[in-house]
Amino acid sequence: MQAATCAISIATAAPSSRKFSSRKMIRGSMFFRKATPLTLGTNPCAGKPFARSRHARLVTSAMMSVSSSPPASIEGFGDHCFKGAVAKKYLSKYGESEKLLEDPTWPRRPGKADIVAKAVLDWAVDNGASVFCHWFQPMASSGVRHGLSAQVHQTMFEFDKDGKPFFKFEGEQLLQGETDGSSYPNGGMRATHTAGGYLSIDPLSPIFLREDTIFIPAAFVSYNGDALDEKTPLHRATQKMSKEGTRLLKLMGYDVDGLINNIGLEQEIFLVPRHAFYRRPDLQFTGRTITGKQPARGQEMSDHYMAPISRATTAFDCMRQIQSECFKIGIPLKTRHREVAPNQYEFAPLFGNVISQTDQNLMVMQIIEEVASENGLAALLQEKPFSGINGSGKHNNWSIGTVDGVNLLNPKQINTASKNDAVFPVIMAALVSAIDKHGDLMRLSIASPGNDFRLGAMEAPPAVMSTYLGDDTAAAYTPSKKKLAFGAEVISDIEVPSEDRNRTSPFPYGGSRFEFRAAGSSQNVSLVNTVLNTIAAEAFSIVADRIESGEEPLKIAQDLLKQHSKVIFNGDGYDPEWPEKAVEKGIWRIDSGVEAIKKLTDAKNTDLFQKMGVLTPRECEARRTVLLEHYTATVEMEALTLIDIINQHVIPSCKKAELNFVKQLEDSVKSLKRSLHEIHISSEASDAAALARILRLDTMIKVREVCDEAESLCPPSLWSLATYSELLFLDTYPEGDLLL
Q: pLDDT tens for residues 304-352?
A: 899 998 888 899 999 999 999 999 999 999 999 999 999 999 999 999 9
Q: Report d(CA 428, CA 433) in Å as an integer.
A: 9
Same domain, residue pair 127 and 36: no
Looking at residue 494, what DSSP letter applies? E
Handedness of CA 53, 57, 61, 62 (dihedral sign): positive
H-helix or E-strand spanning residue 269: strand 259-273
Same domain, residue pair 530 and 434: yes
- Please return the burial class of 148, using the count of CB atoms within 10 Å of its CB with bins 0-12, 13-18 and 19+: buried
Taking CA atoms, 683 is separated from 232, 630, 680, in Å, by 30, 16, 8
Give the distance from CA 217 to its chain's centroid: 17
- 367: amino acid identity, one letter: I
Same domain, residue pair 525 and 659: no
Give a yes or no: residue 157 inside a domain. yes
Same domain, residue pair 51 and 115: no
Q: What is residue 427's three-state secondary structure?
A: helix
- CATH number of the CATH domain containing 675: 1.20.120.1560
- Please return the burial class of 52, using the count of CB atoms within 10 Å of its CB with bins 0-12, 13-18 and 19+: exposed
Give a yes or no: residue 377 inside a domain. no
Count of Cβ atoms closer than 10 Å to residue 602 Cβ: 15
**pLDDT at 66 (0 to 100):** 44
> What residues are paired with 179 via a beta bridge?
197
Q: Report d(CA 377, CA 385) in Å as an integer.
A: 15
Same domain, residue pair 584 and 692: no
Q: Which residues contact residue 317 at a Cβ distance below 8 angstroms, ignoring those fewer than 6 apart?
A: 16, 17, 18, 311, 375
Are residues 112 and 106 in contact, defined by beta-carbon separation less than 8 angstroms?
Answer: yes
- The greatest distance separating any two alpha carbons of the chain, rounded to the nearest whole angstrom, comes to 82
Q: What is residue 357's three-state secondary structure?
A: helix
Q: Backbone dihedral region of 95: left (phi > 0), alpha (psi from -120 to 50 degrees) or beta?
A: left
Q: Which residues contact residue 247 at a Cβ distance below 8 angstroms, ignoring those fewer than 6 apart?
A: 540, 541, 544
Are residues 702 and 693 in contact, defined by beta-carbon separation less than 8 angstroms?
Answer: no
Give a yes or no: residue 713 inside a domain. yes
Of the candidates 127, 131, 137, 102, the one whose C-alpha atom is nearest the C-alpha of residue 116 is 102
Same domain, residue pair 445 and 516: yes
Q: What is the mean pLDDT of the chain?
A: 88
> What residues are paired with 259 via a beta bridge?
402
Of the candidates 587, 598, 596, 593, the one whose C-alpha atom is nearest the C-alpha of residue 464 is 587
Same domain, residue pair 513 and 568: yes
How many independent structural domains does the chain possess?
4
Give a yes or no: residue 557 inside a domain. yes
Q: Is the pLDDT of residue 289 over 90?
A: yes
**Degrees to nearest 5, angle at CA 474 with 469 and 479:** 80
Q: Is the pLDDT of residue 9 over 60?
A: no
- CATH number of the CATH domain containing 127: 3.10.20.70
Q: Report d(CA 597, CA 497) in Å as an integer.
A: 37
- Please return the burial class of 543, using the count of CB atoms within 10 Å of its CB with bins 0-12, 13-18 and 19+: buried
Same domain, residue pair 534 and 649: no
- 247: amino acid identity, one letter: R
Q: Report d(CA 200, CA 228) in Å as an integer.
A: 12
Same domain, residue pair 33 and 123: no
Q: pLDDT tens for residues 660-691?
A: 999 999 999 999 999 999 999 999 999 999 99
**pLDDT at 481 (0 to 100):** 75
Give a yes or no: residue 463 inside a domain. yes
**pLDDT at 75 (0 to 100):** 85
Q: Which residues contact residue 734 at a Cβ distance below 8 angstroms, ignoring those fewer than 6 apart?
A: none
Query: β-strands 352-353, 259-273: how paired?
Result: antiparallel
Residue at a domain's end among 614, 633, 662: 614
Same domain, residue pair 96 and 174: yes
Give a yes or no: residue 328 inside a domain. no
**pLDDT at 277 (0 to 100):** 97
Same domain, residue pair 67 and 95: no
**pLDDT at 24 (0 to 100):** 35
Count of Cβ atoms closer than 10 Å to residue 211 Cβ: 16
User: Which of 22-36, 101-115, 469-483, 484-498 has the largest mean confidence?
Assistant: 101-115
Q: pLDDT tens for residues 532-583?
A: 999 999 999 999 999 999 999 999 999 999 999 999 999 998 888 999 999 9
Q: pLDDT tens for residues 302-315?
A: 888 999 988 888 99
Counting every residue written for the chain, the total comes to 740
Q: pLDDT tens for residues 136-164?
A: 999 999 999 999 999 999 999 999 999 99
Give a yes or no: residue 564 inside a domain. yes
Q: Report d(CA 633, CA 688) in Å as an integer.
A: 10
- Can you give the pTM of this predicted structure? 0.89
Q: Is the pLDDT of residue 472 over 80?
A: no
H-helix or E-strand spanning residue 283: helix 281-286
Q: pLDDT tens for residues 229-241?
A: 999 999 999 999 9
Q: Is the pLDDT of residue 731 over 70?
A: yes
Q: pLDDT tens for residues 616-668?
A: 999 999 999 999 999 999 999 999 999 999 999 999 999 999 999 999 999 99
Q: Is the pLDDT of residue 169 over 80?
A: yes
Are residues 636 and 191 in contact, defined by beta-carbon separation less than 8 angstroms?
Answer: no
Q: Is the pLDDT of residue 43 over 80?
A: no
Same domain, residue pair 19 and 125: no
- Please return the burial class of 74, using the count of CB atoms within 10 Å of its CB with bins 0-12, 13-18 and 19+: exposed
Residue at a domain's end among 75, 95, 121: 75
Give a yes or no: residue 490 inside a domain. no
**pLDDT at 482 (0 to 100):** 82
Instruction: State the residue range of the domain holding 64.
Output: 1-75
Q: Report d(CA 435, CA 516) in Å as an integer.
A: 12
Q: Report d(CA 374, CA 321) in Å as an integer.
A: 10
Q: Quickly list DSSP for 221-255.
A: EETT--B-BSHHHHHHHHHHHHHHHHHHHHHTT--
